[in-house]
């Protein structure tokens, strides 16, 4: 797995290691307090093969192996939103580490929305499947590092950003600074709302390191995945919002781009797992779990 470490810049600044998962273009993060060796895991992937509906934990295990080598202690298992393009390893990581898992509180609204779309009333209960549901402005700690939660909807109605010192984990809002921003056309998404979230993130201090959720190389003049750039770099160079792009121009650009995109091949599987905190649907009488996939609905 392609990895890259972003060192701490001093007091109250985390060390961040990103792990690139190539099948879905996802970046998974280990966020560590160098002083206490306490850490959080963010947006870790549960491997999935859509052709066979087989899950696996190879990617997540690689991250736990890194944690062990570095002598870190996992304090939190965090997700930024119920992902549409990959399954979350949250439940498995809780089992392996004993750490609590968390996501934004609006996952309850997302769960209600998708229960209707799947015609599965009452299928999801995020309050039972996550240890904590964060609201906008909530705070907690990773070791001695203060963490603040920002509601950042648009990609989904309940996406959140984790701000840890001079690092912010901005998930599917921005793409890398040479690409632009993320799509906003999933159920509950909105390009206009995403524009507001992007502007709020750009109000963070210039030197804040923004860590994104996805990259799909090759891109322009680079072959390797990339996922870190500062607020100042995005404010100046991002092709979708850099240079003070207006809401009208952004919405027009984003909506036109989204109209060309198909559904991720894992989406209709992934939401049934991610809205259960990373657990498969409850096993049936034969001991197997089954997915319910709506036909001709999307």
Q: At what angle do helices 191-201 and 247-258 cross, to 10 degrees?
A: 120
The residue ranges of the chain whose pLDDT is under 70 are: none
Could you tell me the CA-to-CA distances from 188 to 68, 113, 194, 220 in Å, in that order?
A: 38, 8, 11, 31
pLDDT of residue 73: 98
Residue 155 φ/ψ, nearest 5 degrees = -70, -50
Number of C-beta neighbours around residue 78 at 10 A = 29
For residue 220, the model assigns a pLDDT of 82
Closest among 120, 225, 106, 112 to 156, alpha carbons compared: 106
Yes or no: say if 64 and 96 are a contact pair by the CB < 8 Å rule: yes
With beta carbons less than 8 A apart as the criterion, state whether 165 and 118 touch. no
Q: What is the pLDDT of residue 58?
A: 98
- The enclosing H or E element of 274 equals helix 267-274
DSSP three-state, residue 161? strand
Indicate if the alpha-carbon torsion angle 112, 117, 123, 126 is positive or negative.
Answer: negative
In order of 19, 128, 140, 252, the CA distances from 238 in angstroms are 23, 39, 30, 16
Please report the pLDDT score of residue 221 as a whole number.
85
pLDDT at position 246 is: 96
pLDDT value for 14: 98
| CATH homologous superfamily for the domain 2-260 | Ribonuclease Z/Hydroxyacylglutathione hydrolase-like (3.60.15.10)
> What angle, 0 to 180 degrees and rounded to 10, lies between the N-to-C axes of helices 58-69 and 90-97?
40
- pLDDT score of 43: 98
Q: What is the pTM for the complete model shown?
A: 0.97
Q: Where are the domains of the chain?
A: 2-260
């Amino acid at each position: 797995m392609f990895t890259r470490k972003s060192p701490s810049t001093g007091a109250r600044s985390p060390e961040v290691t990103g792990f690139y998962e190539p099948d879905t273009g996802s970046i998974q993060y280990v966020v560590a307090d160098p002083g206490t060796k306490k850490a959080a895991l963010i947006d870790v992937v549960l491997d999935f093969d859509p052709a066979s509906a087989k899950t696996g934990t190879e990617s997540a295990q690689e991250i736990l192996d890194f944690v062990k080598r570095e002598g870190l202690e996992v304090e939190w298992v965090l997700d930024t939103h119920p992902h549409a393009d990959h399954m979350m390893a949250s439940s498995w990581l809780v089992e392996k580490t004993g750490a609590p898992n968390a996501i934004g509180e609006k996952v309850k609204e997302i769960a209600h929305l998708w229960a209707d779309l799947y015609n599965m009333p009452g299928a999801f209960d995020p309050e039972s499947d996550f240890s904590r549901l964060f609201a906008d402005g909530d705070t907690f700690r990773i070791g001695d590092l203060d963490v603040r939660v920002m509601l950042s909807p648009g990609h989904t109605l309940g996406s959140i950003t984790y701000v840890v010192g001079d690092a912010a984990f901005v998930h599917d809002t921005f793409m890398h600074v040479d690409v632009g921003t993320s799509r906003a056309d999933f159920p509950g998404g909105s390009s206009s709302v995403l524009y507001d979230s992007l502007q709020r993130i750009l109000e963070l201090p210039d030197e804040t390191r923004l860590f994104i959720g996805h990259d799909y190389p090759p891109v322009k003049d680079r072959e390797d995945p990339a996922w870190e750039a500062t607020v100042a770099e995005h404010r100046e160079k991002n092709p979708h919002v850099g240079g003070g792009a207006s809401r009208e121009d952004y919405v027009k650009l984003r909506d036109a781009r989204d109209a060309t995109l198909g559904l991720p091949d894992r989406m209709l599987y992934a939401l049934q797992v991610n809205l259960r905190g990373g657990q498969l649907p409850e096993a049936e009488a034969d001991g197997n779990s089954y997915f319910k996939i709506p036909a001709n609905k999307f």
